[in-house]
Amino acid sequence: MSYEVMAGLVGTAILMGIGVPILVALGLGTIYLMWVCNYPLLVVGQVPFSGIDKFAFLAVPLFILTGDIIAHSGMARQLVRLAYAMFGWIQGGLGASTLIGSGFFAAISGSNSATAAAMGRMMIPEMESKYTRDYSGAIVACGACMGIIIPPSIIYIIYGSVAGVSVGALFIAGILPGILMIAFMCVANYFMCKVHRYDPPVQKFSASELLKAIWDAKFALIAPIIILGSIYGGIATPTESAVIAVAYCLIVSFLRKKMKVSDMSGLFLRSGVVCGVLMPIVALATLFSETITMLRIPSLFTNAILGISESEIIIMFSLFLILFIAGMVMDTTPIILILVPLIGPIVTNLGLDPVHWGIAMITTLTIGFVTPPIGINLYVVSSIAKIPIVTLFVKSIPLIIAMLLALFFIYVFPQLSLWLVQFIL
């Protein structure tokens, strides 16, 4: 690697580090690298179009919109009530139902920040009386990580398009790891409640209450069935299933008289704006990773990592560390676009399944949502509940440890992600 190339890479990292918007740092870095290596620069004008012009990406705003509609129309509250009817009788039942409710919500919404915003506004005021405000915020922030693990998920769509993996397979593969992470967090929450004497059980389990809650939440529960069913029934592509889900959620909200036509433009705008932030990064990060691939940097990287040790476990652990640290300091989308081409060859070398690896990678990156300095869930919850970010993080630590334990199982047992895929597809 020549000094000019080295300077380009370091320069890009410095620009990002001093806070230049990620898309600008990637764009300028790429232009410099291409200019140094005499690559045709015309592609710089092409990629802001061709990098976005993919049918799969249309699902990104739509799967955020579905969640916004569900939250706006009050259906999200029914989902939490259902979770409370299931687990409200245990100590810490309200926290557990917030975590499980986030899971239900995530089965309709594809974004973690939308999940954090919706659950935060709804559950923090309710939990405050039984827990401390800080700990309730931590539960919401960690639960919202499920937003991109449980399908549908905008991150699976982006990973699928970079790594050339079927988005449908990723959606299915995410189900069991997501449930496992929620279960581990519920156990951690139970122990926290025992220690701090939070939220003692007040009611007994009642089957009739549960059935009533299921009946009340029926319209919200049909939405994930429509999304996954239309994909696996071969009726629709993931993008089309997102359109069907949006139409379904809108119709139900109108029928329940919880939505006015005038509300719609605001909802469309909010999820549309997210694309303006994500998609230019996707376009320029794609160009960046293509450029470094032409410079053969991925093979240098592969050799360096594979050179660390013969042992598969140590290599896996070092990949985990790279992803974990990257997730702490950067946003998920650019990490996936830059690191997938770098890590891909190593993973193939180890003989891992790309679907399993995708799930392992994305579950690792989600922990970055609740760790400073760049933890989007922390920012969202802190702005809703007026809790300092550091306090929120400290209170999240038990739940983060639970997620790390779940990650261990996800890494070690590929069957967790692959079994359902083999079963259904």
Partner 1 sequence: MKKNVNSEDYNKNKPSMLNLLKRVFKFLDSKIEEYAITVFYFSFTVILLNEVIRRYFFAASTDWSEEVARFLFVFLVCFAAAYAVRERGHLRISIIDNLVSKKIKFYLYIFYDICFLILAVAIIYYSVQIMQLQIRTDTLAMSESLRKLNLNMAYVYAAVPLGWALMIYRLIQRFILTIKEYKEGKLE
Residue 388 is a binding residue for partner 1 (CB under 8 A): no
88 Cβ neighbours under 8 A, 6+ residues apart = 94, 97, 201, 203
Q: Return d(Cα 380, Cα 55) in angstroms, integer.
A: 29
- Sole binder of partner 1 in the list 8, 25, 144, 175 (CB under 8 A): 25
Q: Which of residues 175-234 bind partner 1 (CB under 8 A)?
A: none
239-243: which pairs have CB atoms within 8 A and are 24 or more residues apart?
Answer: 239/55, 239/56, 239/58, 239/59, 239/62, 241/59, 241/152, 242/58, 242/59, 242/62, 242/63, 242/66, 242/152, 243/62
Binders in 280-309 for partner 1, by CB under 8 A:
280-281
Q: Measured in Å, how far apart are the chain's first and last C-alpha atoms? A: 44
Q: Is 329 in the site for partner 1 (CB under 8 A)?
A: yes
- Those residues whose C-beta lies under 8 Å from the C-beta of residue 281, and which sit 6 or more positions away, are 22, 23, 26, 331, 333, 334, 337
Residues 295, 36 contacting (CB under 8 angstroms): no
Cβ distance to partner 1 smaller for residue 32 or 84: 32
Q: Tell me how far, at minimum, the Cβ of 66 lies from partner 1, in Å.
A: 11
Among 5, 9, 24, 322, contact with partner 1 (rule: CB under 8 A):
24
d(CA 61, CA 269): 10
Q: Does 252 bind partner 1 (CB under 8 A)?
A: no
Residue 247 beta carbon to partner 1: minimum distance, rounded to whole angstroms? 5
Residue 330 touches partner 1, criterion: CB under 8 A: yes
Task: Give me the least distance between CB of 139 and partner 1, in Å please.
Answer: 25
The yes or no reply on residue 42 touching partner 1 (CB under 8 A) is yes
Q: Which of 412, 34, 65, 37 is nearest to 272 (CA)?
A: 65
Structure tokens belonging to residue 230: 């239309």
Among 12, 33, 57, 69, binds partner 1 (CB under 8 A): 57
To the nearest whole angstrom, how small is the minimum distance from the Cβ of residue 27 to partner 1? 4
Site of interaction with partner 1 (CB under 8 A): 15-25, 27-28, 31, 41-46, 48-49, 52-55, 57-58, 61-62, 235-236, 239-240, 243-244, 246-247, 265, 268-269, 271-277, 279-281, 329-331, 334, 373-374
